[in-house]
Amino acid sequence: MLSKPPSTRPLGAQAPSPAAFLQARAAWRWPEILFWISAFGLILLFPNRHLLLNEIAILGLFALSLDLILGYAGIVSLGHAAFFGVGAYAAGLLAKHGVSEPVTGLLLSGAAAGLVGFLASFMILRGTDLTRLMVTLGVALIFHELANRLDWITGGADGLLGISVGPILGRFDFDFAGTTAYTYSLTATFLLFLLARRIVHSPFGLSLKALKDNHLRAATIGIAPNRRIVAIYTLAAVYAGMAGALLTQTTQFVSLEMLDFARSADALLVLVIGGSGYLYGGLIGAIAFKLMKDTLSAMTPAYWIFWMGFILVILVLIGRDRLMATLARPFAPLLKLLGARRP
């Protein structure tokens, strides 16, 4: 008779419970804390760059919304700008017709985008990844054309004019320097990030990972794939709609550009740069993307797109992990001291 192989677990030790395992995964680490302290500290460090920082915070939230479906559920979308645009136009119309308080408008705009995402999610339940790509792109094109045709509501190609956004919570007015705008956008992004972080480190988040790894195997062990896809797709739409609402409220303008394919492509590029499947990829990628775009457009206004493409090709050829490891090598002792880990 063959004997059982000896166990690698120490004698008397018990396997961690699922609750303990999830709690350990969700524990905050020093690099995360320093990241958010630095983000809020930029309010004081760069008082003349708050408008750019506001754009970074909004793009980070938009990329985070895409990461929820791409990095955790494995759903590739070419039309995520549809929800961004719905939230942007909803915030603009609310502000134009009397709901000028930003927080209220933000929540209602997110709900409007979530409703659209909920209805659209049923169209991606069947089919291959290519089918889903076409469906998501088709949804974005439909909303872009609707916004263009219904010019008596949306303003059409001229954009939605007459938007007046009041003080935040009736106390904090928006200023020309963008200080209030950046603080408002960053705070909203941080609170929504906390919610997303809690979700992905929950049993629901683990089930999404199982769906991404093997859809059929997850179904055989009792995971209902359709319900989870609908839920995460709706949540991602809410996040994207809130990102669009933030842009409308901080710029007080909405145009068809909110629904352009280029906006969906930008979110995908951000995740290519920062990585997907660990939430911070969208935030880090948004910082890198916006800084590269701002720097290159200032250096070569006519050819900045060429250099952006060149950098992305180099990134793909070398590999993001290898490139980041090379750049982080001088800071290795500090990262080791802080307990940084690869995502």
Q: Which residues contact 71 (CB under 8 A, 6 or more apart)?
A: 271, 276, 277, 278, 279, 281
pLDDT of residue 334: 46
| 160 DSSP 8-state letter | B
Q: What is the mean pLDDT of residues 162-181?
A: 85
Strands (E), 195-326: none
Q: What is the pLDDT of residues 68-91, one digit of tens each?
A: 999 888 888 888 999 999 999 999
Residue 203 pLDDT > 70? yes
Q: What is the mean pLDDT of residues 337-341?
A: 45
- DSSP-assigned beta bridge partners for residue 172: 168
Residue linked to tokens 């690698």: 8
What is residue 254's three-state secondary structure? strand
What is residue 122's three-state secondary structure? coil
pLDDT of residue 16: 64
The Cα–Cα gap between 182 and 51 comes to: 7
Q: What is the pLDDT of residues 292-338, one digit of tens each?
A: 888 888 888 777 788 888 877 887 777 666 666 665 566 556 445 44
On the 0-12 / 13-18 / 19+ scale of CB atoms within 10 A, 128 is: exposed
Alpha-carbon torsion (20, 21, 22, 23), positive or negative? positive
Q: Are 89 and 240 in contact (CB under 8 A)?
A: no
The Cα–Cα gap between 139 and 116 comes to: 10
Residue 162 pLDDT > 60? yes
Tell me the pTM: 0.86
pLDDT of residue 207: 82
Q: What is the pLDDT of residues 114-152, one digit of tens each?
A: 999 999 998 887 767 778 888 889 999 999 999 999 888
Residue % of the chain over a pLDDT of 90:
35
The Cα–Cα gap between 71 and 234 comes to: 15
Of 76, 82, 79, 80, which Cα lies nearest the Cα of 130?
76
Q: Are 230 and 211 in contact (CB under 8 A)?
A: no
